């Protein structure tokens, strides 16, 4: 992942900063002032009227997570880890955030559907009653469903799925923890691979959020920042 997304910010844009050196993470919103490529992202010190208590904890060398939304195209949520390199007082109080090594981002789609590329195994019973387990990828995901692509089985003439087929979506996280989502097939496209539209069964919000475990831009943070940015 590159840092190109930072160059698309415009002065005055709303930025969220999370201080990550505390047991109770502190967050504040501020404005983007400018950037010196490969050196600093420059932000306003947060408003003293809103964040008077928190300002006492803002110091040089404090680690932070920075988040922002780019509105071009479908809209993108971006985030990166860094630290506060300098705090200056003149001509106004500003934070100089060290330029990050990389910026994570995800596309925001209508209906809060987010692009993803998550390795998975799709398990279920085919239309012929056979047990099937095939590797593939989650292409995008929302709280209610997702789109996946998986390889063709060895016997290509079999019809694996139809509208209403029930499947399990198994995704292994980096910490070797497996997330399993139960779903029902709502759309089937077949060419040199299978592409399925899946609807999640029941309330599986925690499991959906777990898909992005360890990401700086998980679904919960996306929805909070998107809502606050449109307020």
Please tell me whether residue 26 adopts helix, strand or coil conformation: strand
Measure the CA–CA gap between 21 and 144, rounded to whole angstroms. 34
Structure-token match 């999370």, residue found? 18
The residues pairing with 161 across neighbouring beta strands, listed in sequence order, are: none
Is it true that domain 4-109 has CATH number 3.40.50.150? no
Measure the CA–CA gap between 195 and 230, rounded to whole angstroms. 34
Measure the CA–CA gap between 25 and 221, rounded to whole angstroms. 13
Sorted by where each begins, the domain ranges of the chain are 4-109, 113-210
Q: What pLDDT, on the 0 to 100 scale, is given for residue 174?
A: 63
Q: What pLDDT, on the 0 to 100 scale, is given for residue 215?
A: 61
Measure the CA–CA gap between 10 and 83, rounded to whole angstroms. 21
- Ordered per-residue pLDDT tens for the chain, 231 residues: 578 889 989 898 889 999 988 666 688 999 999 999 999 999 999 988 888 888 888 989 999 999 998 876 556 788 999 999 999 988 889 999 999 999 988 776 555 667 677 888 999 988 888 888 999 888 888 778 888 998 887 766 677 888 889 999 998 766 667 889 999 999 888 877 889 999 998 878 778 777 766 566 544 544 554 454 444
Q: What pLDDT, on the 0 to 100 scale, is given for residue 1?
A: 56
Phi first, then psi: give them for residue 107, nearest 5 degrees.
Answer: -80, 135
Q: What pLDDT, on the 0 to 100 scale, is given for residue 48?
A: 84
Q: Which residues contact 177 (CB under 8 A, 6 or more apart)?
A: 210, 213
Measure the CA–CA gap between 212 and 227, rounded to whole angstroms. 19
Q: What pLDDT, on the 0 to 100 scale, is given for residue 217?
A: 57
Record the pTM.
0.56
For the stretch 106-157, pLDDT in tens is: 776 555 667 677 888 999 988 888 888 999 888 888 778 888 998 887 766 6
Reading the block at residue 74, the tokens are 């479908």
For the stretch 164-176, pLDDT in tens is: 899 999 987 666 6
Phi first, then psi: give them for residue 149, nearest 5 degrees.
Answer: -130, 135
113-210 adopts what CATH topology? Thrombin, subunit H (2.40.10)
């Amino acid at each position: 992942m590159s840092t190109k997304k930072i160059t698309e910010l415009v002065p005055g844009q709303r930025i969220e900063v999370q201080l990550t050196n505390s047991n109770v993470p502190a967050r504040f919103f501020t404005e983007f002032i400018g950037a010196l490529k490969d050196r600093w992202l420059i932000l306003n010190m947060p408003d003293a009227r809103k964040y008077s208590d928190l300002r006492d904890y803002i110091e040089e060398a404090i680690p932070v997570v920075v988040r922002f939304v780019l509105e071009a195209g479908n809209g993108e949520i971006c985030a990166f880890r860094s630290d506060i390199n300098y705090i200056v007082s003149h001509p106004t109080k500003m934070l100089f955030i060290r330029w990050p090594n990389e910026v994570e981002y995800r596309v925001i789609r209508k209906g809060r559907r987010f692009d993803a590329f998550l390795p998975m195994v799709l398990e279920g019973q085919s239309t012929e009653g056979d047990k099937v387990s095939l590797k593939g990828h989650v292409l995008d995901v929302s709280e209610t469903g997702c789109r996946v692509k998986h390889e063709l089985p060895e016997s290509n003439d079999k019809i694996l799925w139809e509208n209403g087929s029930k499947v399990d979506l198994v995704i292994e996280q980096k910490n070797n923890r497996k997330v399993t989502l139960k779903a029902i097939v709502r759309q089937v496209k077949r060419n040199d691979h299978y592409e399925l539209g899946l609807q999640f069964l029941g309330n599986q919000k925690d499991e959906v959020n777990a898909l992005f475990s360890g990401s700086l831009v998980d679904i919960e943070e996306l929805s909070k920042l998107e809502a606050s940015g449109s307020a």
